[in-house]
Structure 1
Amino acid sequence: MAPATNATPPTGKNQARGFALYVGIDEATAAANGIDLAKIVEALKNLTTQLVPDAQTYAAVALAPEQAGGRDVDVVRLALQEPSAVARHRGDESASDKEGSGVTIDISRKRILIDDETAPLTFKEFELLQFLVIHKGLTVSRSELIAALWRADDVDIPNERTIDVHVRRLRAKLGRFEDIVRTVRGIGYRYDTHADVTVLHASAPSPDMF
C-alpha cells in the first residue's frame, strides 16, 4: 500500500505566484532626487523581505534607446516585454479587445472610449486632447493651446493660468489614465505614445487637424 500523503493534488487552475512592479525612472531623475537606481532596487527588495521574509525577488533593469518616446513606465513595460504593452505597440487590436480596457481616442468620431465606455468630455476638452495627440511627442505651451483652440472673439478665452483648469477637468474625466496628458514643468503639456491608448484617425484629413 502506498504511504499516505498530505500533498494537495493540482487543480489545473492558475493562481497568483507573485507580481511585477514596473518603475519608470531614469538615472538622471534618480540622481536629481539624491539617489541611484541600485539603491531604489535594494530598498524595494529589503521592504519585501521585511514584509515576507521567505519572499524571493528578482530585479531587471530596462534598457531602451535615449530617443524612445512615451512615459518612462511604458518604455520600461515595452523593453521588458510586458504582454499588453507589446500587443498595443504592435497594433494588435484583437488583443486589446480581449483585454476590454484602455483608452480609444477616436478622432474620426470625436469621442473617447475608456474601458469601452464613452467618456463625457466636452467639445473643448476633446479638442484639447486631440491637439496634444496630433502633436504627440512635442511639448505644447499653454499659449499655443490657447491660440489654437480659442478664437479671438470667444468670450471664455482662458489665460495661461486658467488653461490648467481645463487640463485638470480633462484629466479627471480620463480617470486612471489621467497621466496620458503629461505636464512639462515650466513649459506646458505633452502626449506621448502610450501602451494603453489606441488612436483612430479619420480616413481623410479632418478640417480641425491643426
Structure 2
Amino acid sequence: MSLATLDRPTTSFSAPRPVAVPTETPTPDAAAPRLRAVPAGTEARGFVLYVGVDELKAEAAGTDLGHLVEQLKQLVAQLVPSAETHAAVALAPQGAGGRDVDVVRLALQDPAALARQRQTPAPELVKPRGGVVIDISRKRVALDGETAGLTYKEFELLQYLVLREGRTIDRAELIASLWNANDDEIPNERTIDVHVRRLRSKLGAYEDIVRTVRGVGYRFDRHADVSIRQATTPSPDF
C-alpha cells in the first residue's frame, strides 16, 4: 500500500461548499476537552485524523475524496488561519481485505497499527483463506471452509441480494419480498438494518460483500474470493 498526495488542487474536484463555523465564544463548560498530559520534554505540534472511506462509499454519499479533503482543510483554515495542513490518500491493491481505516493507518505508518501487524502470525502459520461459497441450492454459506451459522431469514436476505447482483435494493422492496402477513415479526426499515448488521457480523472478514448505499438500501458486490453455486432457477434480473 502507498500514498498519493491530495495537496495540489485538481480540476476534477468540485468547489468546496461553505462550512458553518460557530461564532460564539464557548463557555468554560462547553470548552473542548484538553489533551491528555504529554511526556516530559515534548509538546503537541498537531494531530493526525485517520479517515477510512473508499471511493464507492464517498460516491454513495454524494461526494468524493478530494471534496472531503478540501472541506476539512477549509474548516481548519477558518478555525486556525495560521495552521499548516498536508493531505494524502492511502492506496491499496484492488480487492485487498481489511477495514478502510486500518489500511490508512498502516499506509501512514501509525505505530499502533504497525505493532499489531508485527504481532500477526507468520504466513505459514495462518490458515489459508478459502473464500466465501454461497450455495443457493443447499441454502448454505461457507466461510474459509466453515459453515456460517446464518438463520433462515439472514440467508433469504443474502440470497435476495445475490440474485440481484450489482443492483441496489431499497428497504421497502426487501420488506415486501421477504416478509408476509403470517410472520410473527412486524418488519420496518429498522428491521432490515438489524438483519443486515447481524448478517455482516456472521460474514466476518467478508462482511463488505453486502454494501450499504446511503439513503437507498443495500447491494451485493461479488469479490474474486466469492463463488456462488446457483440453483436451477436463474436470477430474476437476467
Question: Does TM, scored on the shorter chain, surpass 0.5?
Answer: yes
Alignment equivalent of 2:233, drawn from 181, 185, 205? 205
In 2, are the aligned partners of 1:105 and 1:198 still within 8 Å (CA)? yes
1:40 and 2:88 aligned: yes
Q: Does 1:31 align with 2:66?
A: yes
Residue aligning to 1:74? 95
Partner Cα separation in structure 2 for residue 205 and residue 100 of structure 1: 29
Q: Is 1:172 equivalent to 2:201 in the alignment?
A: yes
CA distance in 1, matches of 2:174, 2:132: 22
1:95 maps to what in 2? none
- The normalised TM-score by structure 1 is 0.57
Give me the whole-angstrom Cα distance separating, in 1, the residues matched to 2:131 and 2:171. 27
Distance 1:158 1:32 in 2: 37
Q: Deviations over 1:155-197 (max 9, x none)?
A: 2131012210111110110011111110010111001221221
* Equivalent residue number for residue 159 of structure 1: 188
Q: Residue type of the partner of 1:31? A: G
> Aligned-pair distance for 1:21?
6.0
Question: Using the alignment, how far apart are the partners of 1:195 and 1:40 within structure 2?
Answer: 28
Whole-angstrom distance in 1 between the partners of 2:2 and 2:161: 29
Percent of aligned positions that are identical? 55
How many residue pairs align between the two structures? 139
In the TM superposition, what are the counterparts of 1:90-129 in structure 2 within 5 Å? 99-129=128-158
Moved more, 191-200 or 122-131: 191-200
The runs of 5 or more residues in structure 1 that have no matched partner are 1-19, 45-58, 63-72, 76-97
Q: Distance in 2 between matches of 1:121 and 1:108?
A: 15
